[in-house]
Structure 1
């Protein structure tokens, strides 16, 4: 910090829903922050504490120190924090702690959990007006190569800023909808990646503001266009060995890998309220485009919820599975914890992987899907809440505090949503009734 003449340090953490929180301290306060933490009112943070037990402490993690490239005039750095109670015990409301607990269980089983997300988002022309459909920044399509413009300038500047913060980018491109873009982060352990995703969202917003545009992670802002997902590639390693790889298997997927996929399929309805946590998330999960609506798996099958990529089938380190249901507005700490827990449950119970679905599941008739035993993902947030509230796996992974708060918050969100009279109802019913 002295070498870089750091003037401020921002301490970052998230609430239960994944919103970033921040407090700034000067360099003189950092030694005390490492030793004793920084106290704050937990009752003012979404999902953290009740008003009569509000004192909490933020402890900065020095391994997450990075300069903020957009704060050039004030030389500002950031660190993520772990949250504790005044007695030093971890706060069970801290999403980062929820993920750490899940990773500890994987470690006890001999595994390290790696993730690699494909993060989609939209760029809009300002201003974004609540209740009014936004205007996309461009009208490009999937993988379109365009001359230099706002979108290509944005991705170049955003990737440069990410890499200056130590976040490696694998590639980027224009996505299928107008104004929609995708940036894929290079794989990392799940805790580092969850921190990286939170940083990614901040960087996208900061770069957009600096260029006079708006960035949004809303899952589906347009009725007629595909929504924004966060297809997440996952793998387990035992030391340096990829536990998902088996050269002798037809899919090059090991027994552990197959059991992990079976766990994802088995628990998919229970974890969807977290991986797709907003009422708008379910406008995306309709089977249109490449967003899944049904619980199935396949190789190179973009209609399946879980896909086994076959880009490099003979490369052991590349063996992985891709979960296609999460969207980019999830809380990554909670989402990764539940994805891991679901997969580990499949390994612990030695679940058998059902038959691969070879064709487009969306084109099957309901009778054909029933005959194949294909279940659906929850159709809306209320269905997802109902699946989650009866799940022992979700309750034990999140912990009682986060589990109860999340359910209460999401019930309130859906109750408020279902009371709203929508433009669709006014357009279709008002002239007729």
Structure 2
């Protein structure tokens, strides 16, 4: 988060440092970045000599043109750059990026429709309960070849599998360049590897506070696409671009820390090394999972990934061992690493909204002192319906329409989004699902046109 503004309305020390760096590194343009409610990164480019004005006055833009923002009669919005997010773009070394908060010009207050503000509100709730939130995502993506006109195909550029090396993994050089670009932008990369499906990849970056993590996810997707394009490849975070193979997830690790820096999720005396707060947090996420899915898995295509048989979690349960459950407790080498892993989000989500609703749901579990069921240690994929009923295991929504209905009925998750975002998000997702329902797919044509 940004440091406090100077009392005289001038620049903060951090903002002055950014201005000095702009001058020292010869930056010509600044890209002022934010996201719409669907998670699409937007930006306004300004000459670098406007940086001081951007910090002290903000940069105005037309909010009525942004998905889910405001109506045309209330369109003037203002971008306030967060100096801590300054980073030089590795593929344009005279341009830099600043992530912005959106300000309502009529009130001077943060705009309630800004996804970054929605996440900040969740973090404020955690802070009031005595916690800070750390998170780390694992966004997966596919690399596809482009056609002669530079348009994306679904032809993968390699035939690699999980952890494969060259020559099967032909994209190792692309991943290397992506990692170099991310590191130039301040990322601490932990690992990268080829994923299970052909053309599928994963690059993991280190844990950080939840706001920085959400910023990093937005940046990550931009960097991956830009550097892949330099290799004449198209990178996509679409959850299921190819049928009948594994889709792309964004497993999200979360933990809470107390004011004194202790991991509130760790208890060395517990069988699973999890504190009561961690179990209650887990219970809260499971309790609200169906509604959360509308935000963490927000596209029609998301539910093509969330089917049994392709290592995607669809069963509302948790486990300390296997990956068939919705939430997993990963092994931790040290107490500070104790955490839970929500395995159902996918990389098409808005990272600010997804983290916000996960945090609110977990905190609700703590506030309500929810009971957490025992972990399921068997492979739930092998359960039949009767055994799932015996264990009390339900499933995530089967499609976006069901997820939207669950969201409409869940006051906690709606409140987490706020009235403005909830209304606009539901409207957009209902329209998306309605458009999908009336479409006729190639599969239907191939199956029925000559048969009937």
Q: TM-score, normalised by structure 2?
A: 0.93
Per-residue CA deviation, residues 67-113 of structure 1 (Å, 9 max, x unaligned), is 111103xx111100000111311100100000000001101111110
Offset at residue 193 of structure 1 (A) = 0.6
User: Counterpart in 2 of 1:185?
Assistant: 205
Instruction: Note if 1:203 corresponds to 2:226.
Output: no
Offset at residue 330 of structure 1 (A) = 0.5
User: Counterpart in 1 of 2:253?
Assistant: 233
User: Counterpart in 1 of 2:428?
Assistant: 409
- Please give the alpha-carbon distance, in whole angstroms, between the structure 2 residues aligned to 1:30 and 1:148: 46
Instruction: Note if 1:386 corresponds to 2:411.
Output: no
User: Counterpart in 1 of 2:277?
Assistant: 256
1:15 to 23, 36, 44: 36
Offset at residue 207 of structure 1 (A) = 0.6
- Please give the alpha-carbon distance, in whole angstroms, between the structure 2 residues aligned to 1:300 and 1:136: 32
User: Counterpart in 2 of 1:395?
Assistant: 414
Q: Would you identify which runs of 4 or more consecutive aligned residues in structure 1 move more than 4 Å?
A: 128-133
Q: TM-score, normalised by structure 1?
A: 0.97
Cα distance 1:393–1:127, how it changes in 2: closer, same or farther (>3 A)?
Answer: farther
Paired residues for 1:129-168 under 5 Å: 134-147=154-167, 150-168=170-188
Cα distance 1:21–1:351, how it changes in 2: closer, same or farther (>3 A)?
Answer: same
Structure 1 unaligned segments of length 5 or more: list them.
Answer: none
Cα distance 1:148–1:354, how it changes in 2: closer, same or farther (>3 A)?
Answer: closer
Per-residue CA deviation, residues 218-250 of structure 1 (Å, 9 max, x unaligned), is 100111211000001110011310000000000
- Please give the alpha-carbon distance, in whole angstroms, between the structure 2 residues aligned to 1:359 and 1:288: 15
- Please give the alpha-carbon distance, in whole angstroms, between the structure 2 residues aligned to 1:246 and 1:181: 34
Offset at residue 27 of structure 1 (A) = 2.3
- Please give the alpha-carbon distance, in whole angstroms, between the structure 2 residues aligned to 1:126 and 1:179: 13
User: Counterpart in 1 of 2:309?
Assistant: 288
**8 Å contact from structure 1 (residues 133, 222) kept in 2:** no
- Please give the alpha-carbon distance, in whole angstroms, between the structure 1 residues aligned to 2:143 and 2:374: 39
Pairs aligned (count):
429
- Please give the alpha-carbon distance, in whole angstroms, between the structure 2 residues aligned to 1:93 and 1:197: 19
User: Counterpart in 2 of 1:170?
Assistant: 190
- Please give the alpha-carbon distance, in whole angstroms, between the structure 2 residues aligned to 1:422 and 1:399: 35
1:342 to 358, 361, 367: 361
Paired residues for 1:96-111 under 5 Å: 96-111=116-131
Offset at residue 150 of structure 1 (A) = 3.9
Question: What's the RMSD between the two structures over aligned residues?
Answer: 1.5
Instruction: Note if 1:82 corresponds to 2:82.
Output: no
- Please give the alpha-carbon distance, in whole angstroms, between the structure 1 residues aligned to 2:109 and 2:406: 31
User: Counterpart in 2 of 1:329?
Assistant: 348
- Please give the alpha-carbon distance, in whole angstroms, between the structure 2 residues aligned to 1:128 and 1:12: 31
- Please give the alpha-carbon distance, in whole angstroms, between the structure 1 residues aligned to 2:258 and 2:244: 44
User: Counterpart in 1 of 2:23?
Assistant: 2
